[in-house]
Structure 1
Amino acid sequence: MFSLKKAVPTLAAATLMCAGSLMPAQAQEMPGEGKSVRMARATWDTGWFHAEIYRQMLQELGYSVDTPTTLDNPPFYQAVSQGDVDLWVNGWFPLHNTYRSTFESGAEIVGAVAEGGALEGYLVDKASVEKFNIETLDDFKREEVKEAFDRNGDGKADLVACPPGWGCEVNIEHHLDAYELRDHVNPIKAGYSASMADAVAAYENGEPIFFYTWTPNWTVNELVPGEDVMWIEVPEVDLPENMMDLADAATLEGVEGCVDDPCTLGFPANDIVPVANSAFLEENPAVRALLENASIPLPAIFAQNAAMNEGDDDIEQQAANWIEENRETVDSWLEEARQAAN
């Protein structure tokens, strides 16, 4: 006869079963349950795609993560050091080395979104490179070149530069002084996307254009180096003092669409990296493990940036699609994070 007494465990035994098996499995699956992450993102929208991918992965670990707060570099690095925000995945190093003294007392770089593929430099439309024989920034001291690129009538060549507060602004300002270009080049520091849209329109009208850009960025999809535009060189590598030990990395071989090879871009190649508050990482080993293991291929970022420039601005859906298309890889990162939480 069936024995009810044998079939039903005691209350004590049931409690032990829950404590010994079910609860650890639940905690392992959702190590972020009941916790929130205060995430930030950069002011340049080309960095929002990978920020959204990381946000959704943190949510899969059970963390509550609202839409990231958009911050300029100086306030972010101050805030992450003080613990007012927990992290972002928009660090650019060595470009952001100037902020190390601000954040390293309370925050740290952990992992990498993309290593070595983030280039920076100056570009000119290919037709003007050939017409005026433009090779370096020094060529913008020539009167005929300045006149061709002077769109506002101030006697200087107009350069689409970086808005105040961006890391690239520091280097561009340094270059204007180092190469004695203040009397020859006018840096446009308005909103970058709007300024570049204006430059693209000018290019399509057959006008000369001169701009700074970085990769990954929609600009190099819209204006293809080697076809539409050319990377030009700096006269010689001259970086801010705190970056001069990286001078060798500012000349690169095999840069597609450069006027020379190797190409003296004047900016070291950068890693795109997460920066997180150290105390937060200590309390959340699952987050540390995720940041250490995850990365996003540059071609995926290029493709999203191009789609966004074409008007597809549903970044949440784009990120969700990428995660599902790479589910096996993403799941391996999430499993590493769950194991770290045990």
Structure 2
Amino acid sequence: MKYWDIAKAAGLATAITVMGATAVTAQDEPGDGVSVKSARPSWDTGWFTTEIYNELLRELGYEVSDPVTLDNPAFYQSVAQGDVDYWVEGWFPLHNTYEDTFTNGAEVVGMVAEGGALQGYLVDKKSAEEYDITSLEDFKRDEVKEAFDSNGDGKADMVACPPGWGCETVIEHHLDAYDLRDHINSIKASYNASMADAISRYNSDEPIFFYTWTPNWTVGVLEPGVDVVWIEVDHPDLPEDQKELEDATEMAGVEGCVDDPCQMGWPANDIQPVANSEFLSENPAARTLLEEASIPIGDIFAQNATMNEGEDSEDDIKRHAQEWIENNRDAVDGWLEEARAAAN
């Protein structure tokens, strides 16, 4: 074979090799060249899950922006309009109230954590025992209201939810449904700041009363059954968009509840991704990843506790997400394989 024939053959082989490498890369990174606009909720206990999903999308080649922090109403409007592509902090049925806002342009897809998100009302255990508090109804008693009244307005102060949160809607409904407007003052300031104040009062041996959800750092600092207790509602009464779930508000085996089964007043929530429909249609790999991936509720709880202990910077949260991915690499690689297959 002449020199130029050898060179030509070598060039062809090189071209084939390059083409093959390009094909492999395209298969491994179906999101190459696609920008993703992610969002995260205003509650920081959901930032860890956000970072995990964002990092998984990056492993598929997507260019994922740092997430924008949004309250519920702003997110559901933005995702329907395509101003953001997705988040993984849809709480259902709590967020059913936003369905009319997002269903024409976005959809719920996949499951981050199924049925593991509890919600309800707690008081410090010492006060519960001293005043025999077992239900919201007990806050109609004068001696109870006086004990939990820190501003002198004659009402018990309860840490509630900031405006725009899904839990605010349910708490407001409960105040009317159980005739508690004249007895309970719901504090709607920054949740973390309000809980920090409540914990400070608890450490000073003062009564505290608050709403919370799990997973959340609050029940890591104030352990149900030890520091605080879940109290019940007299009967289930939910907003219209959750009425069919009233039978699901009584739960057995709730650690730290005043009774078993415990009438929480809230159904357990699924935590689910919500994404723009056009984005999902154009990116089958991203859709499949959202459908396949999940995170154990205990892992979310553990990370939230770590944040509360001081590892709460943006870099810390990103590191936590990356460590979780590496510690769960077998499962992660399976999800990524399914996502890549969906793109072919």
Q: Provide TM-score, normalisation by structure 1.
A: 0.96
The amino acid across from 2:328 in the alignment is: N
Aligned to 1:187: 186
2:339 matches 1:337 = yes
Return the offset for 1:24: 2.6
Task: Give the Cα–Cα distance (whole angstroms) in 2 for the partners of residues 4 and 25 of structure 1.
Answer: 30
Deviation readout 1:237-293 (Å, 9 max, x if unpaired): 000011100111111111111111111111110000000001100100110011011
| Deviation string, structure 1 residues 53-102 (Cα, Å, up to 9, x no partner) | 11111111111112100001001101111111100001000000000011
- The separation in 2 between residues aligned to 1:236 and 1:83, in whole angstroms, is 41
TM superposition shift of 1:228? 0.7
- Correspondence 1:200-279 to 2 at 5 A: 200-279=199-278
**Range that drifts further, 169-178 or 243-252:** 243-252
CA distance in 2, matches of 1:143, 1:48: 41
**1:79-94 map, 5 Å:** 79-94=78-93
Q: CA deviation at 1:22?
A: 3.2
Give the Cα separation in 1 of the matches to 2:133 and 2:9.
84
Q: Once the 2 structures are TM-superposed, how far is the Cα of residue 35 of structure 1 from its aligned partner?
A: 0.8
Q: Which amino acid aligns with 2:57?
A: L
Distance 2:294 2:189 in 1: 31
For the residue of structure 2 that corresponds to 1:108, the secondary structure is strand
Residue type of the alignment partner of 1:337: A
Alignment correspondent of 1:324: 326
**TM-score, normalised with respect to structure 2:** 0.96
Q: SS where residue 9 of structure 2 aligns? A: coil
Distance apart, 1:11 and its partner CA: 6.2
CA distance in 2: counterparts of 1:111 and 1:242, whole angstroms: 21
Query: What is residue 311 of structure 2 aligned with on the other side?
Result: 312
CA deviation string 1:189-243 (max 9, x = no partner): 0000010011111111111100000000000100011111000001100000111
Query: Residue 171 of structure 2 aligns to a residue in which SS?
Result: helix
* Residue type at the aligned position of 1:325: N
Aligned Cα root-mean-square deviation (Å): 1.7
Number of equivalences:
341
Cα distance in 1 between the residues matched to 2:14 and 2:322:
39
Q: Secondary structure in 2 aligned to 1:111? A: coil
Q: How far apart in 2 are the matches of 1:23 and 1:253?
A: 55
Residues 274-313 of structure 1 show CA distances to partners (whole Å, capped at 9, x for unaligned) of 0000110010011001101111111111111111111111
Cα offset for 1:12? 6.7
Give 1:15 shift. 5.2
In 2: Cα distance, 1:25 partner to 1:341 partner: 13
Secondary structure, aligned partner of 2:189: coil
Aligned to 1:147: 146
Separation of aligned partners in 2, 1:23 and 1:309: 45
Q: CA deviation at 1:5?
A: 3.4
Residue 334 of structure 2 aligns with an amino acid whose one-letter code is: S
Cα distance in 1 for partners of 2:108, 2:9 equals: 50
Q: Name the CA distance, whole Å, in 2 between partners of 1:23 and 1:245.
A: 53
Aligned ranges for residues 72-221 of structure 1 at < 5 Å? 72-221=71-220
C-alpha separation in 2, matches of 1:82 and 1:66: 18
Question: More deviation in 214-223 or 244-253?
Answer: 244-253
- Secondary structure of the structure 1 residue equivalent to 2:91: strand
Rounded to whole Å, the distance in 2 between the matches of 1:253 and 1:30 is 45
Partner SS for 1:9:
helix
Residue identity opposite 2:258 in structure 1: V
Is 1:9 matched with 2:6? no
- Distance in 2, Cα, partners of 1:341 & 1:24: 13
Name the CA distance, whole Å, in 2 between partners of 1:47 and 1:302: 10
Unpaired runs of 5+ residues, structure 1, are none
User: Could you say what secondary structure the match of 1:151 adopts?
Assistant: coil
Task: Give the distance between the partners of 1:262 and 1:104, measured in 2 at CA.
Answer: 35
- Gaps in structure 2 of 5+ consecutive residues: none
SS of residue matched to 2:64: coil
Residues 109-128 of structure 1: CA distance to partner in whole angstroms, max 9, x if unpaired? 00011000000000011111
How far has the Cα of 1:2 moved from its partner? 9.7
Deviation at 1:7, TM superposition (A): 7.9
Percent of aligned pairs with the same amino acid: 66
Amino acid at match of 1:39: S
